[in-house]
Structure 1
């Protein structure tokens, strides 16, 4: 039987419509900023907190827009599925003001239309989020 982790993730876009992806230390896959909720934290509160911790973006939980909830294969943990609640941050962000922090090793702004050019994207992104963006 597989383990299942609950996570929150946030889509952040720059003024050119590029999506912010992050790679956590010790991993190979790029994904959205986000992570596991702390005890008593809502999915939106976890998304807001993780966004601030990982890339320094301050967005109130109430300002995040729900994109969807999906269950899929975890990118970085074997024999594990994730139940991901994915939000979109309002507005657009200047890449110059966003920096990797906490466990984030690398940032990459990606044109969603060019996602097929990358072979290092997390399953949540390729299987659920990107198809919704192109629909």
Structure 2
């Protein structure tokens, strides 16, 4: 069974992107979460950003749709994740809350220091940085 999510590539002016790690897990990934039945992906994304990071990006004008990506789910064995990915430019502060154990801004040269979710490693970071991630 596939897991349909909305995810945010939050990007600072220096090119760093925000990755989060949920409680009880090892892999870092983009903030976001499951899209509820009947919910628009962008609405789901803003709900998740508010829940996970106390961010309220506004009315959606700042969000740019990047595309749909699929990968093996990082934290749910035997499942695939289908992500609707949006890019948001931000310098804003955040507060890791809800199920988020850790949140870190990272640059392309720092990826080797982190365990990355397959979606993040194989699709999201290459899409926003234009480089392959090892």
**TM-score over 0.5 (shorter chain):** yes
The 4+ residue runs of structure 1 with deviation greater than 4 A are none
The gaps in structure 2 that reach 5 residues or longer are none
- 1:38 corresponds in structure 2 to 36
- 1:73 corresponds in structure 2 to 72
Q: Is 2:7–2:45's contact at 8 Å kept on the other side of the alignment?
A: yes
Q: Is 1:33–1:54's contact at 8 Å kept on the other side of the alignment?
A: yes
Q: Is 1:23–1:105's contact at 8 Å kept on the other side of the alignment?
A: yes
Q: Is 1:47–1:61's contact at 8 Å kept on the other side of the alignment?
A: no
Q: State how far apart, in whole Å, the 1-side matches of 2:73 and 2:59 are.
A: 24
Match of 2:100 among 98, 104, 107: 104
Determine helix, strand or coil for the equivalent of 2:11.
coil
TM-score by length of 2: 0.88
TM-score by length of 1: 0.88
Post-superposition Cα deviations, 1:14-66, rounded to whole Å, max 9, x if no partner, equal 23221100000111100011000122211111111101110111113632210
How many matched pairs? 129
* Two-structure CA RMSD over aligned residues (Å): 1.5
The gaps in structure 1 that reach 5 residues or longer are none
